[in-house]
Amino acid sequence: MTQNKSEKPLISVKHVRKIYRMGEEKVVALDDVSLDIYKGEIVCFLGTSGSGKSTFLNMVAGLEKPSKGEIIIGGVPIHKLNEERVTLFRQKNIGFIFQAYHLMPMMTALENVSLPLIFQGMDKKKREKISREVMAAVGLKGYEKRKPTQMSGGQQQRVGIARALVGTPKIIFADEPTGNLDTNTTKEVMDLIVRQVKRHGQTLILVTHDRSIAAYADKVVTIQDGNILHVRENRHPAVMLEEQEPAAGQEETDGTDPAGGQKPAKEQERPKGLKLTKEPISADERTPNETIETEGPKTVSDRDEKKDAQHREAGISKGNKEEAQ
Ligand SMILES: Nc1ncnc2c1ncn2[C@@H]1O[C@H](COP(=O)(O)OP(=O)(O)OP(=O)(O)O)[C@@H](O)[C@H]1O
Ligand SMILES: [Mg+2]
């Protein structure tokens, strides 16, 4: 999607710097990074190992605090939120596909996938129905009752992907989302993620080493030694909406060449995800709210489950915070 420059960015990263201290040693993981990301964009970060990709993602997703700088999402300065508020913010607005899957070992695959729907106050029957649909969509039909340890790395990764997609969050962060998948499955899974994201008008920010994944992005950001080297707009990303016919003579792109000669997607070809949907909710009709939410869940059903899940989520965020600032 090409953004309307008069639009306000959904995510504004301003002069973010992250320093890790290990005793005497100081590691500048991010030097000075500024970037605007607009609603509905798919943004891909490319860069070699250690360039700062995961650090950037964790920072923008509110999993870690920057040493300096600002991160504003939907008008909310998330770098200023305390642990509790940032956890609620993530639950309401953000889905995360982790580099390490962070699945709950004691829970079945289906329960892992259902977690975000608990925060939405959805009843068990409905959330299991939706979770089964999303699991089937990522090729995990029949694996619902398995525990993560009873699954292969690629299958666990797909559980993580299903969990990130199931609640239709406004923003999805993905750290090497296809790192453990073979080439064919990578394409299938990326097609699936991108279709869902486009259909629902979600924003996807992903980091990868894999240049073929950049072909799916609207914007490709190359990061090197903790700085943005360049940002390139991709005029014809690899996945089209189902109802959109590919333009005649359209060629594959590696996502890094802006001079493709294709016109940007037209207004009427934009995702139809902004329409409000009526019951019944199906995997295809789930639509995120328009506004970024800063409060916790409003419904009180499943209160205990929400609390439990919140504790687990806090565990996830702690697992990512090993820095000694
Ligand atoms: N908790 C930490 N403590 C100290 N240094 C860290 C910590 N986390 C990351 N770093 C360092 O910060 C730099 C950036 O790391 P980061 O994990 O962001 O890289 P990356 O681009 O995601 O790499 P990869 O592609 O290998 O996942 C690296 O030099 C890394 O060693
Ligand atoms: Mg990384």
Which residues of the chain have a pLDDT value below 50?
Answer: 240-285, 296-302, 315-325
Q: What is the pLDDT of residue 307?
A: 55
Q: What is the pLDDT of residue 226?
A: 97
- Tell me if 322 CB under 6 Å of ligand 1: yes
Atom 14 of ligand 1, residue of closest alpha carbon: 52
Atom 19 of ligand 1, residue of closest alpha carbon: 50
- Tell me if 53 CB under 6 Å of ligand 1: yes
User: CATH assignment of 39-58+81-238+269-319?
Assistant: 3.40.50.300
Q: Which atom of ligand 1 is nearest to 223's Cα?
A: 21
20 C-alpha to ligand 1 centroid (Å): 9
User: In the chain, what are the domain boundaries?
Assistant: 39-58+81-238+269-319
Q: What is the pLDDT of residue 294?
A: 63
The structure's pTM equals 0.77
53, 97, 180: which to mutate for ligand 1, most atoms within 8 A of CB?
A: 53
Q: What is the pLDDT of residue 290?
A: 61
SS3 readout for the chain: CCCCCCCCCCEEEEEEEEEEEECCEEEEEEEEEEEEECCCCEEEEECCCCCCHHHHHHHHCCCCCCCEEEEEECCEEHHHCCHHHHHHHHHHHEEEECCCCCCCCCCCHHHHHHHHHHHCCCCHHHHHHHHHHHHHHCCCCCCCCCCHHHCCHHHHHHHHHHHHHHCCCCEEEEECCCCCCCHHHHHHHHHHHHHHHHHCCCEEEEEECCHHHHCCCCEEEEEECCEEEEEEECCCCCCCCCCCCCCCCCCCCCCCCCCCCCCCCCHHHCCCCCCCCCCCCCCCCCCCCCCCCCCCCCCCCCHHHHHHHHHHHHHHHHHCCCCCC
Q: What is the pLDDT of residue 52?
A: 95
170 C-alpha to ligand 2 centroid (Å): 22
Atom 17 of ligand 1, residue of closest alpha carbon: 54
128 C-alpha to ligand 2 centroid (Å): 32
- Tell me if 54 CB under 6 Å of ligand 1: yes
How far, rounded to the nearest angstrom, does the alpha carbon of residue 262 sit from its chain's CA centroid?
27
